[in-house]
């Protein structure tokens, strides 16, 4: 499951864009932004690495994005918005900050995974 060299990726899904941050094992991070179009999601998928653990909040687009990531063989954690109270209570509420908080959260608690219950990959 997790390894010492896993990267943790937090995604904040907006209506038109995805704010994405990757934290590596040394704690440094890299930010990216992708559109929520099929092309944007494809660019996100190509940007991700096999050792990434991806977290995103459950929402209208989350499961479509999560399934695309899973199809690449990358671990995904879809978080219940009710469990993210610390994000919503924060004084600093921006999409970039939310993606960082999601990445840090899954770095500590990466125990929920999305699986394709239909038994198909497409």
With respect to residue 114, please indicate whether it lies within any of the assigned structural domains.
no
Total number of domains constituting the chain? 1
pLDDT score recorded for residue 114? 45
Does 93 score more than 70 pLDDT?
no
Question: Which residues are registered as beta bridge partners of 10?
Answer: 21, 55
pTM to 2 decimal places: 0.73
**In sequence order, which ranges of the chain are alpha helices (DSSP H)?**
38-47, 62-70, 85-88, 95-108
With respect to residue 25, please indicate whether it lies within any of the assigned structural domains.
yes
Burial of 79 (0-12, 13-18, 19+ CB in 10 A): buried
With respect to residue 117, please indicate whether it lies within any of the assigned structural domains.
no
With respect to residue 88, please indicate whether it lies within any of the assigned structural domains.
yes
Residue 53: C-alpha distances to residues 11, 81, 121 (Å): 11, 18, 19
- pLDDT category at 115 given cuts 50, 70, 90 is very low
With respect to residue 19, please indicate whether it lies within any of the assigned structural domains.
yes
With respect to residue 116, please indicate whether it lies within any of the assigned structural domains.
no
Domain containing 16: what range? Answer: 7-108
With respect to residue 118, please indicate whether it lies within any of the assigned structural domains.
no
Does 120 score more than 70 pLDDT?
no
Tell me: the pLDDT tens digits for 35-85? 999 999 999 999 999 999 999 988 888 999 999 999 999 999 888 777 666
Q: Can you give the CATH number for the domain in which 97 is found?
A: 3.30.420.40
With respect to residue 121, please indicate whether it lies within any of the assigned structural domains.
no
């Amino acid at each position: 499951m997790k390894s010492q060299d896993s990267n943790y990726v937090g995604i904040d899904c907006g209506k038109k864009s995805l704010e994405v941050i990757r934290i590596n094992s040394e704690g440094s991070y890299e930010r990216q932004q992708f559109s929520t179009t099929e092309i944007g999601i494809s660019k996100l998928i190509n940007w991700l690495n096999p050792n990434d653990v991806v977290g995103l909040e459950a929402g209208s687009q989350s499961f479509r994005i999560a399934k695309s990531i899973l199809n690449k063989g990358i671990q995904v954690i879809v978080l219940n918005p009710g469990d993210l109270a610390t994000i919503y209570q924060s004084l600093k509420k921006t999409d970039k900050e939310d993606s960082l908080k999601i990445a840090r959260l899954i770095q500590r608690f990466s125990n929920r995974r999305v699986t394709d219950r239909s038994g198909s990959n497409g």
